[in-house]
Amino acid sequence: MNDIPVPQKKSLDDATITVLGLGHIGLPTALGLAELGRRVIGADDDASKVRLIRAGQPHFYEPGLTDLLSKHLKSGRFQPLEDVAAAVRGGSIIFICVGTPQKTSGQADLAQVEAVARLVARNLNEYKLIVEKSTVPAITAQWLKRTIVRYNPGRSPLAAGESTPGAPSPAPLDFDVASNPEFLREGKALEDFFHPDRIVCGVESERAREILTNLYSPLQRPIVLTNTSTAELIKHAANAFLSTKISFINMVSDLCEKVGADVSAVARGIGLDSRIGPQFLGAGIGYGGYCFPKDLRAFIHLAEEHGVDFSLLQEVERINQRRVDVFVRKVRQAVWTLQGKTLGILGLAFKSGTDDIREAVSLKIVQALRNEGSILRLYDPQAMPSAQRELPAAPGRLTYCSSAYEAARGAQALLLLTEWEEFRQLDLARVRNLMEVPVLVDGRNLFDPDAVRQAGFEYVCMGREEAGPDGLRAHPGKATA
Ligand code: UGA
């Protein structure tokens, strides 16, 4: 086992940083810190991922990541390692970026976080600051601390603070635990790392406060200093609030359709109120991804565990789950029957800028349409390989296409499910000529209704005025504004 030499330094301002877990959060964080001039060791117990990273090929798509990786493999400031224990010994600041998936109960599964704590306990060769970055429920930091003490081999068998008369006291364990939740969006992870709205640091010692504030000072962004439980809660509350905004605007969108209002204008009209803010008011098929659905459930679970009635969040979740049905109903209204209809699908990733399909609403819609017997032609600029693993091609029923135009070929409707810029730039006249019936159902309100109509489409969207090319409403049987 090769140990990384630990430089003996009084100050931790240039201490080596270890990042454990090289996924969507860990790798951008590690490279961001390297870019800030720090020496960073990155480790993951999935050796195949580490090998890819060492070869300069991240195992997932994130804009700018490959270039930054190549830069810091060359600069020597980023060192990927398979040996997680050696990585722990080699760093003085340890960022925990491992997964916190959800259990069937909705509770966060903290097994990987605990495994890291035990590893740190066995490899505590010098002072270390252990920093939680993974999203974890409040009081996880307290458990981390307890676990590190409990599993440290040099620890007295008695509880910390007790001693056996006459026996030499064990050396006090020299470490701190802090919470520094991440707010990185997939597809914008590096942008968010370098230009965060705020940096939250939950600390319990002056030393930890100093290390983290010095670490982030080059970013010159506001730092919110709290205790660890508050920092943990800030992260869950942020994701829960953003999900609430999305479900709220989706209900407004449904109402807009009934009364002939336009949800985009409503979003602008309320979003310009600085107390509300314009972001996360995009109506559509609902939120997906690895974070919002899981974090919302974990937050609901935390509230229940502590006897707090946070049923508001249960409703947020229910509204989101209904978006698949709302959208499929729209498609049905647009094309009449779904059985045997050829539908082009634009977008599989849970949002643009990523190849991630975890909890993607688009895939749930694809499954629902498949169950209805539709013939599907799918395209996504980045997420095809991951989608193919999850949902293999089926000859004559489900085809992965080489471009958006191929997905449109022979289709009786085209469904927009992910808001890729590439789709906004499509040559709509060309798309129209490829389709058997020019119906466009826009689940993200990506297109300008006038432009689409002028190109000769029947256009169906979310919470906005819909019309056919002749100015008539796209689907018969709906109230006119
Ligand atoms: C989210 C948060 O935005 C990050 O701050 C956080 O760090 C991250 O989770 C995490 O916890 O790790 P992310 O899941 O990458 O980031 O994606 P978002 O941009 O937040 O979008 C989430 C979902 O909401 C997507 O499916 C997106 O399409 C949807 N969405 C977003 C809408 O439906 N409407 C909107 O107006 C905005």
pLDDT in tens, 118-161: 999 999 999 999 999 998 888 899 999 999 999 988 764 334 44
Q: How far is the CA of 394 from the centre of ligand 1 (A)?
A: 31
Could you give the residue numbers annotated as active site? 291
Q: In ligand 1, which atom is closest to the CA atom of 283?
A: 34
At 206 the pLDDT is 96
Return the residue matching tokens 């409703």.
Answer: 315
For the cut 50, the answer to whether the pLDDT of residue 9 exceeds it is no
42 C-alpha to ligand 1 centroid (Å): 25
225 CB burial (10 A radius; 0-12, 13-18, 19+): middle
Residue 320 Ramachandran class (φ > 0 left, ψ -120 to 50 alpha, else beta): alpha
Report if pTM > 0.85: yes
For 172-199, letters b (16+ CB in 10 Å) and e give ebebbbbbbbbbbebbbbbebbeebeeb
- Mutate which of 100, 235, 242 for ligand 1 pocket (most atoms within 8 A of beta carbon): 242
Dist. CA 365 → ligand 1 center (Å): 18
Average pLDDT over residues 159-174: 57
Which residues are within 8 A (CB) of 15 and not within 5 positions of it... i.e. 6 or more apart? 7, 9, 91, 92, 93, 211
More confident residue, 468 or 255: 255
Contacts of 404 (CB under 8 A, 6+ apart): 344, 346, 379, 422, 423, 426, 431
Segment 306-343, tens digit of pLDDT: 999 999 999 999 999 999 999 999 999 999 999 999 99
207 in ligand 1 pocket by Cβ < 6 Å?
A: no
Residue nearest to atom 28 of ligand 1 (CA): 351
Gap from CA of 131 to ligand 1 centroid (Å): 23
Closest Cα to atom 34 of ligand 1: 282
User: Is 6 a residue whose pLDDT tops 60?
Assistant: no
| Å from CA of 287 to ligand 1 middle | 7
Mean pLDDT calculated for residue range 369-389? 97
Ligand 1 centre distance from Cα of residue 278 (Å): 14
Q: Pick the residue with more confidence: 100 or 159?
A: 100
Cβ of 463: how many Cβ atoms within 10 Å?
A: 25
CA distance 413 to 335: 7
Q: Whose CA is nearest to atom 19 of ligand 1?
A: 185
297 secondary structure, DSSP code: H
Determine the length of the chain: 481
Q: Are strands 458-460 and 93-96 parallel, antiparallel or unpaired?
A: unpaired
For the Cβ of 288 lying below 6 angstroms from any atom of ligand 1, the answer is yes
pLDDT digits (tens, 9 = 90+) for 421-461: 999 999 999 999 999 999 999 999 999 999 999 999 999 99
CA angle 232, 15, 204 (to 5 degrees): 30
Confidence of residue 168 (pLDDT cuts 50, 70, 90): low
pLDDT digits (tens, 9 = 90+) for 21-53: 999 999 999 999 999 999 999 999 999 999 999
Question: Rounded to an integer, what distance in angstroms lies between the CA atom of residue 111 and that of residue 346?
Answer: 37
Do residues 107 and 136 lie in contact, with contact meaning Cβ atoms separated by under 8 Å?
no
Is residue 419 in contact with ligand 1, taking CB distance under 6 Å? no
Q: Is the CB of 90 under 6 A from ligand 1?
A: no
Q: Is 246 in the pocket of ligand 1 (CB under 6 A)?
A: yes
3-state secondary structure of 130: strand
Q: What are phi and psi of 79, to 5 degrees?
A: -125, 110
Atom of ligand 1 nearest to the CA of 352: 28
Cβ of 182 below 6 Å from ligand 1: yes
Residue-level pLDDT at 154: 77
Say if residue 8 is exposed, middle or buried (CB neighbours under 10 Å; 0-12, 13-18, 19+).
exposed
Side-chain-side CA neighbours of residue 252 (13 Å): 19
For residue 86, how far is its CA from the centre of ligand 1 (angstroms)?
A: 34
Range in 70-79, 153-162, 170-179, 339-348 the model is least confident about: 153-162
| Nearest alpha carbon, ligand 1 atom 29 | 287
Beta bridge partners of 400: 378
The 10 Å Cβ neighbour count of residue 325 is: 12
Q: What H or E segment, with its residue span, contains residue 177?
A: strand 175-179
Atom of ligand 1 nearest to the CA of 285: 33
* C-alpha dist (Å) from residue 23 to 20, 29, 136, 183, 265: 9, 10, 16, 14, 38
Q: Indicate which residue's Cα is closest to atom 10 of ligand 1.
A: 291
Atom number in ligand 1 closest to CA 289: 14
> Is there an atom of ligand 1 within 6 Å of 285 CB?
no
- In this predicted structure, what is the pLDDT of residue 477? 42
Question: In sequence order, what are the beta bridge partners of 178?
Answer: 131
CA angle at 467 for the pair 461 and 473, rounded to the nearest 5°? 110
